A = this chain, B = another copy of it.
Amino acid sequence: MLDLLIELGNLKRLPRTGWLLRGVPNPESVAEHSYRVALITLFLADELKAKGVEIDVEKALKIALLHDVGESRITDIPKTAQYYLDKGKAEKKAVMELLLSSPEPKEYFKLWREYEEESSLEGKLVKFADRLEMLIQAYEYEKAGFRNLDEFWGTVKKLRESEFYSYFRELVEGLVEMREKLHRG
């Protein structure tokens, strides 16, 4: 397991290429992103529960922590590259093999697939959290003065179409509004 923990340290060193390629110097790492995704997942899951939704918080947290571990082997391959190679397939295999030396290879891989395929409530929630996290980060970079991040905001559409939107409408629209305010000056 020690080797696995060391290999997962790669996630601290790997920049999120979406920001990197748009000119943000020294952007966040995959680990930094994953950390806030897990925090968001925690908050949203607990809020859903409080609103009567039956959701497995433990499972959701596990998925959040594991959702990007494959990038420790295949790196954060950007959108532009995914046209040329099957990232999904590569990541799937990498995750499977990487987790072989984890305590629960089968369970963890199953959880990862639920995220990838959005095939469980918890998997869908982490996908929602993943997108929300990216937009909050985009907002922070824009607030700091960076530009060239417009296309990320297309993701708002996906948040609005999500089944969780009705629960977190205020959160999503609050962010959009803050961003608009930023650009109105």
A interface residues, Cβ below 8 angstroms from B:
1-2, 4-6, 8-15, 17, 20-26, 28-29, 31-32, 34-36, 38-40, 42-43, 46-47, 50, 57-58, 61-62, 65, 69, 73-75, 77-78, 80-81, 84-87, 89-91, 93-94, 102-104, 107, 136-137, 139-141, 143-148, 171, 174-175, 178
Contacts and interface: CB of A to CB of B under 8 A. Distances in A.
Contacts of A31: 31-32, 35-36
Copies of this chain, whole number: 6
Contact of A61 (B14, B25, B65): B65
Most B CB contacts (10 A, CB to CB) among A10, A86, A137 go to A10
Q: Which of A4, A5, A174 has the most CB of B within 10 A?
A: A5
A145 B143 contact: no
Interface residue SS majority, chain A: helix
Contacts of A86: 85
B89 A81 contact: no
A148 B145 contact: yes
Nearest to A28: B12
6 contacts: A5-B43, A24-B144, A35-B65, A46-B104, A74-B77, A84-B89
Contacts of A42: 62, 65
B2 A140 contact: no
